[in-house]
Amino acid sequence: MNRDQLIEKLRRIEALFAGATTKGERIAAANAIERIQERLQKLQERDKPIEYKFTLADMWSRKLFIALLRRYGITPYRYRRQRYTTVMARIPASFVEETVWPEFKALDETLRSYLEEVTSRVITDGIYADNSEAEVREDREQKRLPQTV
């Protein structure tokens, strides 16, 4: 998958979560964002925002999640001394459950797949052709590295 294919796939996922029904709507990603933002405004009227704490696995997922929140007009933050992978946000519960989290999961899976593919290709082409996992052996005495103080 190349960069343009990745971007197109991300746009299709976005259109799916925006409730697009025609092929033309899927192409017009900007319209999808507007529909989601309108849905969020309606939800905020009847479902008050609550503070959520999201703990993300790595910086790629964190960056993606923050970008997704900002696109919908939600301000991500974290408190002093919270881990870098923690993202806080005030969002209506139904919007998290129906839109933000499912869309993030789909986008994150696509991004991880792309990053895995690119990483494997770079390692295979630039370092060594065999990028398979290390073999698994039966337990034996393991040599320990000396500890430094």
Instruction: Give the per-residue pLDDT at 88.
Output: 97
The proportion of the chain whose per-residue pLDDT surpasses 70, expressed as a percent, equals 70
Q: How far apart are the first and last CA of the chain?
A: 46
In a domain, 57, yes or no: yes
Tens digit of each residue's pLDDT (9 = 90 or more) over 31-90:
666 676 677 677 667 788 899 999 999 999 999 999 999 988 899 999 999 999 999 999
In a domain, 133, yes or no: no
- Domain containing 106 equals 3-126
18 token code pair = 């925006």
- Please state, rounded to an integer, the average pLDDT across all residues of the chain: 81
Please check the confidence at residue 18 and state whether its pLDDT lies above 80.
no
140 token code pair = 């034996």
Phi, psi of 88 (to 5 degrees): -105, 150
Instruction: Give the per-residue pLDDT at 45.
Output: 75
Question: How far is 2 from 5, CA to CA, in rounded Å?
Answer: 5
Tally of domains in the chain: 1
* Contacting residues for 36 by C-beta, under 8 A, at least 6 apart: 17, 18, 72, 99
Tens digit of each residue's pLDDT (9 = 90 or more) over 61-70:
999 999 999 9
The pTM assigned to this predicted structure is 0.67
Cβ(89)–Cβ(69) below 8 Å: yes
